[in-house]
Structure 1
């Protein structure tokens, strides 16, 4: 029974919420009617311009409209906020408030003329719409209550009997009362859409500015992360690594200068010495993976040469970049080559690998710069590399995407595998 009664109850609730006596109807009516006094300065200026064109007293009201533009804008925003509950965002002003140069910049601003477009075009139309709504309510009440007006009249002026004309007028007045709230709601929605487009900020410009802010914020985060990696690399190199080197040296000296130690003690010293050297080697690999010092000192060519020399297979390296890209792009390029060669060594079973790095113009120049750093890594392994089956290629995608780069992987079964990465040099 509750399910069957749900639809009639919702219908009844909807009808009462949109009836002529509902708060929804009176709110929209008050909002549209409030457009009339808000448009009076503009209507006065337009009237004076039409009736007295040319220089003279007729030009004073239009000039007042131009001067009162900011005040009219605040008035309209208050109308939307107080009567409709709609907050129209403010527009950031260009130029100063009192300086002539600032006023000139403000008058040349696109946002200023959009607001004047609202005041000179939409505001008068909104006032006319408000007048139509008020008249609809007035004529609706007058027509629906026509029999009441007749009984108020003196007896000798009443029309004898019931008239079909009066019945039609009463029905028309009732229909007009039912339509008036919807007419007010329609005008309110149109006015709100126009205000959002003209009184508020330009959506396209706001999105463009937001994208620029996000790009700058991301660039700052990347720079901060790169600086943090460099700090960790320095701390490991100057701290833990030096301590491990000293420990290995002391163990080596102890093994060489204490020949009379028992065999068990010598075995322990030998094992500790071997583990210390392995820890140093692992720490060296970790430091190089974070941010190698040679990358900062001598650039990408020297850093990649070190990676190629340490690879367990022959690597043909070709680097032609001319001017060095930004530090963040260099770090990402180093990571891409290092991680790719590591994946080749683990999974590809390749006998040879070729790395080609070149800097050249982009097909479509961007705002960050027209050059791209192209990295191509080719191996003669078994192929079949799939980003969905491992975290190595997923990490490459994320690292390349952090600088708006692109990565393309071609790895058919049987090989060869070709990984092409393009990084914007303007970052």
Structure 2
């Protein structure tokens, strides 16, 4: 066999392995135990030291800051109180991992004890009770301890998320901007105008309502818009809305119009969320003829204002089931035509839902307010509608207006 020296045989005995083989077995067992221990430490969140050069650099700086603050407190106690130790503790909660943060806390505790001993000795030596004002009071110790506990919770949350404190905010900002960009209606040809506005519940950055839109078909002469409302509101529904908006954006235009809602329904079912249902309305508009079709999945009906008569009509399709409820759901549509001067309005239930009142009352109010905006044109009116109709509602709100001029 390759690797053996000709004419020599392995050095073994009939009684068992050699001392060398026994040593290799013990070494292999030891290495295996070390690997298992490291995996266990990594799972429990203690193995933070490997490959953490930036972490150790920040730790060294804050560790040096502790004796510096202690020395300054002893030298100029009127300017540097004992509670100044919260500064490295607070910085550590933003930069360090929990394991190294605990070491910093130990150093801060030693520094606080040192200050207490020094100031107590000065007070006894000078026999001046007024010197106690510069000492470590119980309140100062409680403040440093409370900040330390809060900082440890913040560090554990950062460790669980797996991003630095600066990167976490950047990531959330990027996700919010992606959701906003996906909600923009594409540029429409001459004679058409679309306006969309969205307001999350409670003034938050993320919403359970979202819009995806695209121009599809031959020569991109078809506008497809999906207005969806995910169960929940605000931050609770924001992550699911972001995931669904990306999935819906990929499906939109890739499938025939009547296959979109069944495919979206199947996608939600595969997620197996505890609160995984959503409503949606799918608009398919021919930009040449003005003919459109609305397909609904448990969503509110569309509202069309006829330019000739100035009347509003409900475009209510045979209501399909909510998305994510059961497989094999069927979704029927309603057809109509947008003539010149007509407006089609779609909204989520946050625009019309009032506790103790029927949805039709809220829809009547919404159409009445929209009528008052006709004189000034519909440009920018989606945001004004939300401010007038549903300004203080604690729910996500979205409204879409499509106007043929």
* Alignment TM-score, normalising by the size of structure 1: 0.24
Higher helix share: 1
Q: Which has the bigger relative contact order, CA under 8 A and spacing at least 6?
A: 2
TM-score, normalization by structure 2 = 0.25
**Greater share of strand:** 2
Bigger Rg over Cα: 1
